[in-house]
Amino acid sequence: MNILLTGSAGFIGSYVSRCLLDRGDTVVGLDNINSYYDINLKYGRLRTLGVNREAIDWYKFVQSDTFANFRFIRMNLEDRQAMKMLFANGHFDVVVNLGAQAGVRYSIENPYAYVESNVDGFLNILEGCRHSGIFSLAAPKSHKHKHKSALHETRSTAHSLESDLHILFKTYIQICLHIHYIHEPH
């Protein structure tokens, strides 16, 4: 299968990329390599996928020197035009969306980063899938959902409040978008 995998320099995305490549899928890995945490970790993960730091540039496809079936592109999910072009030319069968602004406390510190990546970016993914007729989209949900309902619990500590806001924000937006895209005629 021909797969677009976002967040391919990330913790989960790099491992999923490797699994898909080993399985024989063709993967285009996308990541903006932001500095939310040490970028050397991200470049290191890309190196294990055969992509050299020196070869990486914005909006440029880099062919892996280890995996013939892997190419990487540095791009922002929220870049609407670039995402449109990517989908138009990519002929993807499946999208695995692991590119996101993660973290709980940082959503209070820099909420715009979350809106740009997780709302605008996610909408671009949904639109790309819709216009390309892609019906297979995989995206994670927060591990915190396994343990508690953010809607029904009230806690008093600052950490809990931040955590709740993060969960509510991410879940609410993504559920709304999913509902819209599932129920609206295309």
To ligand NAD, the closest distance from the beta carbon of 25 in angstroms equals 19
Q: Is residue 49 within the footprint of ligand NAD (CB under 6 A)? A: no
Considering only residues 50 through 109, tell me which ones interact with ligand NAD, judged by CB under 6 A: 76-78, 98-102
- From candidates 5, 10, 62, 73, binder to ligand NAD by CB under 6 A: 10
Q: How far apart are CA 149 and CA 47, in angstroms?
A: 39
Q: How far apart are CA 186 and CA 177, in angstroms?
A: 14
Q: Which amino acid is at 157?
A: T
Tell me whether residue 67 or residue 72 sits nearer to ligand NAD (CB atom). Answer: 72
Q: How far apart are CA 124 and CA 65, in angstroms?
A: 29
Q: How far apart are CA 96 and CA 132, in angstroms?
A: 15
- From candidates 28, 42, 46, 87, binder to ligand NAD by CB under 6 A: 42
Which sign does the torsion angle of CA 122, 123, 129, 135 carry? positive
Supply 10's token pair.
Answer: 């990330």
Tell me whether residue 124 or residue 134 sits nearer to ligand NAD (CB atom). Answer: 124
Give the range of 32-40, 49-57, 86-94, 125-133 binding ligand NAD by CB under 6 A: 32-40
- Residue 134 backbone zone (phi > 0: left; psi -120 to 50: alpha; other: beta): beta
To ligand NAD, the closest distance from the beta carbon of 117 in angstroms equals 3
- From candidates 142, 148, 162, 165, binder to ligand NAD by CB under 6 A: 142
Supply 141's token pair.
Answer: 């949900």
Which positions touch ligand NAD (CB under 6 A)? 6-7, 9-13, 31-34, 42, 76-78, 98-102, 116-117, 121, 140, 142-143
